[in-house]
Amino acid sequence: MNILKMKVILLLSLVIGLWSLPGGCVEYMPLGRENSVQRINEEVEGDQEVELPFVDIPYDDDEMTYRAAEYLALGEYMSAIEVYERALNSYPEDPWLICSIGDIYSEYLDDAQKATEYYELANQYDPYNPHSIIAKSKVFFLRQDNEKGCDVLKDFINECDFRNDKERYLGYHSIWMLTNIAYGNDMYDELEGAVSLVLKLPGYDRWEESLIQMYVIQTMVLYEFLHENDIQVEKYLGVYKGIIDCHEDADRVRSALELQYSARLYDFCEEMMELYFTE
């Protein structure tokens, strides 16, 4: 396998760049917002100044996320925060609004103290709200207490009502976070646990479920490859292949996976599939 590994070593150097935040933590970016930022980045060229006057928008989380993403793509982080703060004037105890502001402070402004204040505020108002629970895990991660943060996520995932659209989405996102934290901090047991979680998903949303399953398995393949566990690489590649083969629209899943998560990670696993399964 040494020769095969040399063939993809350059690709690996690109993939590892995904985990670039302090402490090995991957940026927490919900899938919807990632798509919005990508969409906006395609619309904004170079350093062009774009006028984005505030408008009164209803409390529609998709519309608000897109509006905030416009400012985030332009580097106008405080303006993005103001989008949520304006809504907080009418809904001052809303956990999603509070946590959204905390995410901007954490991910874009690198202000852990301010982010923690908002995450803890959400828990103060509504500690049983799914957004507040996830925010609680982020507080632990910001304090470098990764084990407690992972425990909070696992408890939420295990109790998540996957029949509920929004809660199911947050369950997927929590698995995504757990995977990234486990990989970035070399927590093999937690990463293996994430694999077990995705393989037990109930199937209420086959489309999104397949995406998160494949992403977690891809990450495990990369982890085992870097640790030269060839038998485990082949094992998880087989699981990865099985998920694709059993999906009624495999090409669509592949395309979405490449766009929504990481093209480099996707390409790496596809090349490994050829190396292991092509006769």
Q: Strand, coil or helix: what is 153?
A: helix
> For position 251, what pLDDT does the model report?
73
Taking alpha carbons only, the member of 173, 170, 26 closest to residue 95 is: 170
pLDDT in tens, the chain (279 residues): 443 433 333 233 333 333 333 333 333 333 333 333 343 344 434 444 434 333 333 455 677 788 888 999 999 999 999 999 988 988 899 999 999 999 999 999 999 999 999 999 999 999 999 999 999 999 999 999 999 999 999 999 999 999 988 889 899 999 999 999 999 999 999 999 999 999 999 888 877 888 888 889 999 999 999 999 999 999 999 998 888 777 767 677 677 666 655 677 888 888 888 888 875
Give me the residue label for tokens 């060839």: 230
pLDDT at 6: 32
Tell me how long the chain is: 279
Nearest-CA neighbor of 243 among 205, 191, 206, 274? 206
Residue 12 vs residues 7, 41, 176, 221, 255: alpha-carbon distances, Å: 10, 26, 20, 12, 21
Helical residues (DSSP H) of 185-262, grouped into ranges: 188-199, 206-226, 230-245, 250-260
Confidence (pTM): 0.74
